[in-house]
Amino acid sequence: MIRKLIYWKNKHFERNDSFIKIFFVYLVLLIFCVIAVYPLLNVLAVSLRPGDALFSTDLSIIPKNATLDNYRKAIFEIDLMIWLRNSLIIAVCTTVLAVTVSSTAAYSFSRFKFFGRKSGMMSLLITQMFPAPMLLLPTYILLSKLHLINNFFGLLVPYTATAVPFAIWNLKGYFDTIPRSLEESAYIDGCSPFRTFFTIILPLAKPALAVTALFAFMTAWSEFVVAKIVMSSPDRITLPVG
């Protein structure tokens, strides 16, 4: 035990740090870990309660009369797996489309000068100012004329359109931080702009791409209003609607 403490001290602390300081540092970290984990354990505890105790104010981690009946009903008696599958398909497709469109568009805004560049970026920003309920009626009319009601593509279109403006701004800011000298060196070596983009820019932008993908995924995964209006068949509704 003492050897482990000495190892921790040498690895994470200064040489003159006392064991008391190390103890209190780990104690504080442990307290914060408990605070962070307890809500998750509480959610698990609520899921194990019987139906007549779901709204109980009991905060114990292991509830009385714990049962797996709620999981049995969710899996076998309702279409939870179908709703989960639908949400996963729509969220993954939205993520792929949003990242593909926004990465190429953001690179164009970052590296090339063309007419309407600044106004285009401002237009994308302005679209984020409109609340979603304001766009429900025109969105529904558009999807109805395109025969996309009760269709997965009817959700992919508005979800991707919602995620792309933020994704472009996010990726454009990151692309601006990548030195142009890297691309110029690739051009000297004979790389085309497309090869430079895919072999140099995108690998360097992995952190921004990950954030963008996460945002696009969560946008589609947790959306309720549009999915409620567009989808009507029980086998096509998403998890939030179900």
- Residue 159 exposed, middle or buried by CB count within 10 Å (0-12, 13-18, 19+): buried
Q: In this structure, which amino acid lies at residue 124?
A: L
CA–CA distance, 22 with 98 (Å, rounded to integer): 46
pTM, two decimal places: 0.77
**The pLDDT of residue 4:** 54
Predicted confidence at residue 53, as pLDDT, reads 64
Residue ranges per domain, the chain? 2-76, 78-230
Q: At what angle do helices 152-177 and 80-111 cross, to 10 degrees?
A: 40
What is the chain's pLDDT, residue by residue, as a tens digit (242 residues)? 544 555 455 555 566 667 777 788 888 989 999 899 988 888 888 878 776 666 666 667 777 777 788 788 877 888 888 889 999 999 999 999 999 999 999 999 988 888 888 888 888 888 888 877 788 888 889 888 988 888 889 899 999 988 999 999 999 999 999 898 888 888 888 888 888 888 889 999 999 999 999 999 998 998 888 888 888 888 888 888 87
Residue 206 is predicted with a pLDDT of 93
pLDDT at 215: 92
CATH fold of 78-230 reads: MetI-like fold (1.10.3720)
